[in-house]
Amino acid sequence: MEAYLDNSATTRVDAQVQELMKKLMDVDFGNPSSRHQKGVVAEGYIKEARQKIAATLKVDPKELIITSGGTESNNMALIGTALAAKRKGNHIITTAVEHPSVKATASFLEEQGFRITFLSVDSRGQISLEDLKEALTPDTILVSIMYVNNEIGTIQPVEEAAKLVHATVPGAVFHVDAIQAYGKVMIRPKQQGIDLLSVSSHKFHGPKGAGFLYCSSKVNLHPIIFGGGQQSGMRSGTENVPGAAGMGLAAQLAYQNFEQKKAHLNELRRYFLEGIHKLDDVSINGWDETADGEECIERRAPHIVSVSFTGVRSEVLLNALSDRGIYVSSGSACSSNHPALSSTLQAIGLDKKLIEGTLRFSFCENTTKEELDQALKALQELLPMLRRYTRR
């Protein structure tokens, strides 16, 4: 039996989504910009997808820009806001634990003359609202803070941060990378003060190559892709109809029976943590309810567990688990082609040797306790052997 525990990297596409996408590639394959019937039908799928997604967020479908995924959504949010607001100021605030698609984009903007502030985090990976308040200036045009950290699962106080930003610098835009949060956390952008929200389809059983950016009607965003003027000129290019439609259906399914799914993920996490704590020389990164108490549950995502294993390198353990059909991650899948010490784990003050021995386990609503048992049994058998080999 395989145990797929890398759902933060990507998820299996839902069977209903697959079926819908196949129809759109085989039967209703028209270009939504075409004026004939095939085009009209394709355009209808795009509209329906927007409506389904908008319903999960309680926003206007017109406030959604369909993109190729989370990286493009984050780039569009940061660069688009910076270009639109450069006459108002040049200061951007983000955090030390952002995904590479935000961090690298911020670095690019810094090269273009914008001033970037990276907020530090505590040992659990959370920012300080006091630090944010001190960083805000009249020149601040954008604040970008991720909702759920993709490596350790820590939830940032986005609603409180948004309130602080809008009260201190009313003209500033507040962006949230919700790529690991969407489908796992109930999100209401208008109630929470979120102006821009990035989401990627393949994190919640939709297809790869599809995502969206929620852009409040109050926000002035400069397009970064030009061409035929699709999506009201905000994102030119022929729409990926199968991807958009598949994402819309996956979004709808993600929030069906939401509380039941969340409870299942919380139970899986507790179960797995209990097993992990029975192993020797391991530590949990981020919040750990078995040590910190149940009050921390709302401060962490229900589907991510980051574990550091003393005396063994993560890539060695990852490959040994993979040989047994157990699939996990040593960090962000989007940066695995350029291996380096995790900036998130460095930011929380983790020792270098522990960083080098850290794995991420991530679940979905289809994950079973049998899969977790398989992983725990393998860890129990592999760790003593690999540690002896490492000492040599």
Quick one: 59 and 112 in the same domain? yes
- Are 280 and 210 in the same domain? no
Give the 3-state secondary structure of residue 336: coil
pLDDT at residue number 54: 98
> Are 34 and 120 within one domain?
yes
- How high is the pLDDT of residue 312? 96
Residue where a domain terminates, one of 236, 254, 272:
254
Specify the pLDDT at position 390: 65
Residue 295: give its domain's CATH number. Answer: 3.90.1150.10
Which residues form the catalytic set?
Answer: 334
* Judgement on whether residues 193 and 293 belong to the same structural domain of the protein: no
What pTM, to 2 d.p., does this model score?
A: 0.95
What are the 10-residue block averages of pLDDT along the chain, 392 residues in total? 96 98 95 94 97 98 98 98 96 97 97 97 97 98 98 98 98 98 98 98 98 97 95 95 98 98 96 96 93 87 97 96 97 56 94 96 98 98 88 52
Same structural domain, 84 and 225: yes
Residues with Cβ within 8 Å of residue 145, at least 6 apart in sequence: 94, 95, 119, 127, 156, 158, 161, 174, 175, 176, 177
> What dihedral do alpha carbons 25, 29, 31, 34 form, nearest 10°?
180
- What CATH number does the domain containing 68 carry? 3.40.640.10
Whether the Cβ atoms of residue 344 and residue 152 lie closer than 8 Å to each other: yes
Q: What is the extent of the structural domain holding 325?
A: 3-11+257-391
Q: Which residues, in sequence order, are bridge partners of residue 177? A: 198
Q: What integer pLDDT is reported at residue 334 of this predicted model?
A: 52
Same structural domain for residues 284 and 214? no
Q: How far apart are CA 28 and CA 45, in angstroms?
A: 9
Residue 391 is predicted with a pLDDT of 56
Counting the structural domains of the chain, the total is 2
Q: Check: CB of residue 24 under 8 Å from CB of residue 223.
A: no
Residues 229 and 80 in one domain: yes
**What span, in angstroms and rounded, lies between the C-alpha atoms of 86 and 84?**
6
The last residue of a domain, from among 254, 286, 303 = 254
Considering 254, 287, 305, which residue would you say is the last residue of a domain? 254
Q: What is the pLDDT of residue 388?
A: 86
- One domain for residues 102 and 149: yes
Q: What does each C-alpha distance from 308 to 44, 75, 200, 271, 381 come to in angstroms?
A: 48, 31, 27, 18, 17
Which token pair is 345?
């784990």
